Amino acid sequence: MQLYNSATHKKDEFKTHTPGHVEMYTCGPTVYHFAHIGNLRSYIMEDVLEKTLRYVGYDVNRVMNITDVGHLTSDADEGEDKMLKGAKREHKTVMEIAQYYTDAFFSDCAKLNIKTPDVVQPATGLIDDYIRIVSTLIEKDYAYLAGGNVYFDTAKLDRYYIFNDHNEEDLAVGVREGVEEDTNKRNRNDFVLWFTKSKFEDQALKWDSPWGVGYPGWHIECSGISMKYNGEYLDLHCGGIDNAFPHHTNEIAQSESYLGHPWCPQWFHVHHLNTNDGKMSKSKGEFLTVSLLEEKGYDPLVYRFFCLQSHYRKALVFTWENLDNAAGTFNKLIGRIANLKPGGDVDETAAAPLKERFRNALENDLNTALAVTAVYDVLKAKTNDATKLAVLADFDQVLSLDLLAKAEAKRQENAKAAAAKSAGGYTIVGEGDPAIDELVMKRYEAKKAKNFAEADRIRDELKAQGITITDVPGGAKWSRG
Ligand code: AMP
Ligand code: ZN
């Protein structure tokens, strides 16, 4: 399997420390608000990656954190804790906010058929582990105490910038507009491992530590959680592209300094979902959620389909028009699958090349758009319907679009409409719209019951929709216009 690796800046052959087994880590959500559909793009693509690895035969242990402390509004060490910001906004405690938005996150994931990772760990649950790691980093002289906080000393590393060639000036965190530089730092990109005194003093959750009562920095949580559940050798680390710097860069710095050996060789970054006016962001306050999509009548899996149609390493622009297009294509696809007749023998010889095309697409840097094309190849293939359905069920282990269940629902809907069409020997010839057929049938029933007022009312209702009905022997004909 070839996968682009942000650490080497090229597509690499995917390798694991233990043959056949993948230790995988995913940066989880900061649970101070709902996940927006941009965050969920990252989780959808990471889900496809995990399922692809399983599909091609790996056994996977996937770990995810839940950020419920330490993620400050600047992504670096400035600003207030995002969790406290959420708690203040909703007049609740930080833990109430964390629980509420963690549940909301997994409920969104379920609607998008995103599998829950094997291990999910809230950051507040492993404070002792972070304290142990920070203590070791101080002992090894990679970390220092200044102004009450513990900082990681980036100057101690031969190579700090892993993902890009930018220099310190370009990436300097402290020089963002309106953010004062932290004078405790020896080097601009040194970062906090443990806070006892941030400029923001009003922290809700605090723990005792050798350096005083305080709380962990955001980056240390991911290193601590991964090392606990993935072990010392992580194979694959995932996140959205904005996490590459400073978050992942800092995770590498502290993990490798603590362990004394390389930590994670492969880094998978999903590019952003943008709107026409820029990056989607939770901190902007107004954003698109799965619930909003549902309120507007979209099936959440249409959004998953929309994401699969494009490559994870390209920015994706969200517009309602683009989503409508995806919805139209998805519904047509389900309609075509619904026309396949279940039952019969599966022809494995015919199935094999179809599966190979699908697998090749995914093994080429997770080309999901091509994997979706492979679905259409199945529909066009010269083989029986039973084989096509079996191959589609196989693909859906990775795509997770409920292709067969949706097709079955559609088949039943069609059968119901067909039954309604010729009920009681009354046959309706129309243009294939079950809703109109049903109204025509109701009009017939009203007439049969001598309820002529109702029959006329239905005729007028159909007329208002531009439908003309003509009574013919044994039934009715209808047409538009
Ligand atoms: P957060 O909840 O802010 O910690 O982010 C959760 C995940 O969503 C992280 O992996 C981010 O990198 C990712 N992310 C944030 N914004 C976007 C976006 N607009 N498009 C795709 N992924 C995003
Ligand atoms: Zn992380």
Tell me the per-residue pLDDT of 266-281, one tens digit each, with 9 for 90 and over.
Answer: 999 999 999 888 777 7
Same domain, 334 and 202: no
Q: Is residue 393 included in any domain, yes or no?
A: yes
Query: Strand pairing partners for 60?
Result: 22
Q: Which of 242, 273, 288, 289 to mutate to test the pocket of ligand 1 (most atoms within 8 A of CB)?
A: 242
User: What is the pLDDT, as a whole number, of residue 200?
Assistant: 64
Q: Is residue 417 part of a domain?
A: no
Domain assignment present for residue 411? The answer is no
Residue numbers of the domain that contains 378: 278-406
Atom of ligand 1 nearest to the CA of 274: 19
pLDDT, tens digit (0-9, with 9 covering 90-100), for 294-341 = 999 999 999 999 999 999 999 999 999 999 999 999 999 999 999 999
CATH assignment of the domain containing 185 = 3.40.50.620
- Whether 156 lines ligand 1, by a CB cut-off of 6 Å, is no
**What is the residue with the minimal CA distance to atom 22 of ligand 1?**
39
E strand or H helix at 364: none
Q: Are residues 266 and 291 in the same domain?
A: no
pLDDT, residue 175, reads: 42
Residue 74 has pLDDT above 70, yes or no: no
Query: Does some domain include residue 471?
Result: yes
pLDDT at residue 427, rounded to an integer: 84
Which residues, in sequence order, are CB contacts of 208 under 8 Å at separation 6+? none
Q: How far is the CA of 73 from the centre of ligand 2 (A)?
A: 15
Asked which of 31-35, 358-362, 393-397 is least confident by mean pLDDT, the reply is 31-35
Residue type (1 letter), 27: C
Clarify whether residues 297 and 386 are in a common domain: yes
Claim to verify: residue 431 and residue 312 sit in the same structural domain: no
Helix, strand and coil percent figures for the chain, each rounded to 5: 50, 15, 35
Nearest CA to ligand 1 atom 2: 29
Q: In terms of domains, do 401 and 436 share one? A: no
Q: Is 42 in the pocket of ligand 1 (CB under 6 A)?
A: yes
Q: Share the mean pLDDT of the chain.
A: 91
Last residue of a domain, one of 211, 237, 270: 270
Q: Is pLDDT at 177 greater than 60 in this prediction?
A: no
Question: Which neighbouring-strand residues pair with 467?
Answer: 480
**Does 266 share its domain with 286?**
no
* Alpha carbon of 210 to ligand 2 centroid (Å): 24
Residue 476 Cβ contacting ligand 1 at under 6 Å: no
Angle, helices 368-380/300-308, rounded to nearest 10 degrees: 100
Predicted pLDDT of residue 341: 92
Residue 362 belongs to domain with CATH number: 1.10.730
Q: Mark whether 262 and 347 lie in a shared domain.
A: no
Smallest CA separation from ligand 1 atom 5, residue? 29
Mean pLDDT on 217-229: 96
Atom of ligand 1 nearest to the CA of 41: 21
Domain count, the chain: 3
| pLDDT (mean) for 146-163 | 93
Query: What is the average per-residue pLDDT within 1-13?
Result: 96
Higher pLDDT among residues 93 and 140, named by residue: 140
Q: What pLDDT does 174 receive? A: 40
Asked if residue 176 has pLDDT above 50, the reply is no
Tell me the CA–centroid distance for residue 263 and ligand 2, in Å. 14
Q: Using 50, 70 and 90 to split pLDDT, how confident is the model at 173?
A: very low
C-alpha separations of 80 from 94, 187, 204 in Å: 13, 22, 11
pLDDT for position 123: 95
Average pLDDT over residues 164-174: 54
Q: Does residue 126 share a domain with residue 100?
A: yes
Tell which residue, 203, 292, 285, has the closest CA to residue 33: 285
Residue 15 lies in a domain: yes
1: Cβ below 6 Å to ligand 1? no
Which of the ligands is closest to the CA of residue 30? Answer: 1
- Using CB atoms within 10 A of its CB, is residue 159 exposed (0-12), middle (13-18) or buried (19+)? exposed
In this prediction, residues 335-358 reach a mean pLDDT of 96
Q: Whose CA is nearest to atom 9 of ligand 1?
A: 240
What distance in angstroms lies between residue 325's CA and the mean position of ligand 1's atoms? 24
Sheet holding 149-152, edge to edge: 143-146, 149-152, 191-195, 215-216
* Residue 412, domain member (yes or no): no
Res. 462: pLDDT tops 50? yes
Nearest-ligand number for the alpha carbon of 244: 1
What pLDDT, on a 0 to 100 scale, did the predictor assign at position 180? 64
Quote the pLDDT of residue 166: 58
Of 39, 65, 267, 290, which is best to mutate to test ligand 1, by the most ligand atoms within 8 angstroms of its C-beta? 39
Distance 38 CA to ligand 1 centre (A): 6
Distance 19 CA to ligand 2 centre (A): 25
Within-domain flag for 291:
yes
| Whether 293 and 253 share a structural domain | no
Give yes or no for residue 416 having a pLDDT over 80: no
Q: Is the CB of 388 under 6 A from ligand 1?
A: no
Nearest-ligand number for the alpha carbon of 73: 1
User: Does the pLDDT of residue 473 top 90, yes or no?
Assistant: no
Tell me, yes or no, whether 415 lies in a domain. no
Exposed, middle or buried by CB within 10 Å (0-12, 13-18, 19+), for 242? middle
Query: Do 247 and 119 share a structural domain?
Result: yes
From 406, 436, 455, the end of a domain falls on: 406
**One-letter amino acid identity for 201?**
E
Q: Please check whether residues 44 and 117 belong to one and the same domain.
A: yes
Boundary residue ending a domain (361, 378, 406): 406
Domain match, 454 and 368 both: no
Provide the whole-model pTM.
0.86
* Per-residue confidence (pLDDT) for residue 432, from 0 to 100: 77
- What is the pLDDT, as a whole number, of residue 130? 97
For residue 413, the model assigns a pLDDT of: 83
User: What is the model's pLDDT at position 203?
Assistant: 76
pLDDT in tens, 248-267: 999 999 999 999 999 999 99
Task: Indicate whether residue 70 lines ligand 1 (CB < 6 A).
Answer: no
Higher-pLDDT residue of 93 and 286 is: 93
> Between 70 and 8, whose confidence is greater?
8
- Determine the pLDDT at residue 278: 76
